[in-house]
Amino acid sequence: MQPRREQIGIGREKLQRIIELCKDVEEHSLDPFTVDVNEIIQIIREYFPAWEKPEDLCLDAEAINRLASVIKLQTDWVRHRSTSLYADPSLLQEKIRTAGKEELLNLFLKAWHPIVELEQITLNSLSEALRYWAALSPLKERWKDFPSPEFEAAPTSRNELVSQKILGEKAFTEELESLWKELKDAVRLRGVDGKISYWDFVGAETYEETAHRAFMVSFLVTYGYATLEVRPFEEKIYIKPFEKPLRRALKRQLVSVPIVVSREEWEKWRRDRTS
């Protein structure tokens, strides 16, 4: 088993090296013939039966793909060499070094035929531009200020703000405190050991109301009005109110407790309650 694992490791490394070599040739325009295609194909063939995992097969495919690009570069290279535009770069560098700047310039001027173009305004375009200018309305007219809408200022009532959803029916803290009070009463009447089942407190007649109560309870806990007691093995969650809000609660490292309040959970709670 060990030699096979080792073989796979070596194979991966070799494929990575092949990919890097081909990349170098492509990106840094190295001589594509530095890559020995036959040798690489042999390596790829040798390790191919060992590949089982998809990532190894992907690596194998990438190596083949890179090799194909190098073969294309080799083809281009041969094609270029066979054209009249080919000159040995080292020979050309030598020529460039030995030739003077002025000599090079003279040679270039014999092969250079610069583009001719005119930058000139014509009478026709001038008269057209004048016609356009004459027809153009002044900026003041084009960018006329829109009259600002007039509003009549009048006092508004709290009920109007609530109906426009700007204010909730109760102020948030007010609602939070009344829920806290309700929690304490519920624990006193129905609770055991100063706590009450989470669902027994949060659950309401409608699902929407239940969701809203769950949302508010999350703030009760976060702001230190109450705490949660989670019993994972019993799959039960209890909520326990504090007599006074704990100020330090926010400074401590807080722990998030995700509680699913889905419609199914709510229906299950209602069924259990009625039975």
Q: Which residues bind other proteins (CB under 8 A)?
A: 27-29, 76-77, 80, 84-89, 91-93, 95-120
Least distance in angstroms from the C-beta of 72 to other proteins: 13
Q: In whole angstroms, what is the distance from residue 41 CA to residue 56 CA? A: 16
Least distance in angstroms from the C-beta of 30 to other proteins: 10
Q: In whole angstroms, what is the distance from residue 64 CA to residue 70 CA? A: 10
Nearer to other proteins, 106 or 156 (CB): 106
Nearer to other proteins, 108 or 143 (CB): 108
DSSP, res 28:
T
- Closest among 234, 229, 172 to 201, alpha carbons compared: 229
DSSP, res 234:
T
Measured on CA atoms in the order 6, 8, 14, 19, is the torsion positive or negative?
negative
**Residue 20 in contact with residue 40, Cβ under 8 Å?**
no
Nearer to other proteins, 108 or 151 (CB): 108
Least distance in angstroms from the C-beta of 66 to other proteins: 16
Nearer to other proteins, 92 or 250 (CB): 92
Least distance in angstroms from the C-beta of 90 to other proteins: 9
- Closest among 26, 32, 56 to 44, alpha carbons compared: 56
Nearer to other proteins, 99 or 166 (CB): 99
Q: In whole angstroms, what is the distance from residue 63 CA to residue 69 CA? A: 10
Least distance in angstroms from the C-beta of 124 to other proteins: 10
